[in-house]
Amino acid sequence: MSGGPVCRCPESKKPVAERRWRVTQRYCNHSAFNGYHWTPSDYSAVRCMECRTSWRTKAQYVDILQDAHWDAERGTWTDKPANRRHGLWLGSCDADR
């Protein structure tokens, strides 16, 4: 099950473990609907680091994907951990609880 357009770039043809797909919200949600508060969810937000497509899914492949990292200095998601002085790690919602 998925919400939003799913990546259709060459990354989607690779085995899941080799794709540059990263999780931006793992089994949770932060949205205007819930006042931007952490809310548990069956869904996770996934982003393709190549084509920049983002979608929400409750597919099991999320369990083997790495977390994305927010680079506050560049204002974008990255698949490399940010410098702790300049970036926030937002891939897992566990830190918000």
Condensed to tens digits (0 to 9), the pLDDT of residues 21-59 reads 999 999 998 888 888 889 999 999 999 999 999 999 999
Average pLDDT, the chain: 83
Q: How many structural domains is the chain composed of?
A: 1
The range of the structural domain enclosing residue 29 comes to: 2-12+19-96
Condensed to tens digits (0 to 9), the pLDDT of residues 63-78 reads 999 999 988 888 989 9
In sequence order, the 6+-apart residues with CB closer than 8 A to the CB of 91 are: 22, 23, 24, 25, 26, 66, 67, 68, 69
Closest CA to 58 of 44, 39, 38, 40: 44
Q: Is the pLDDT confidence value at 84 over 70? A: no
Supply the pLDDT for residue 47.
95
Round to whole Å and give the CA distance between 74 and 71: 6
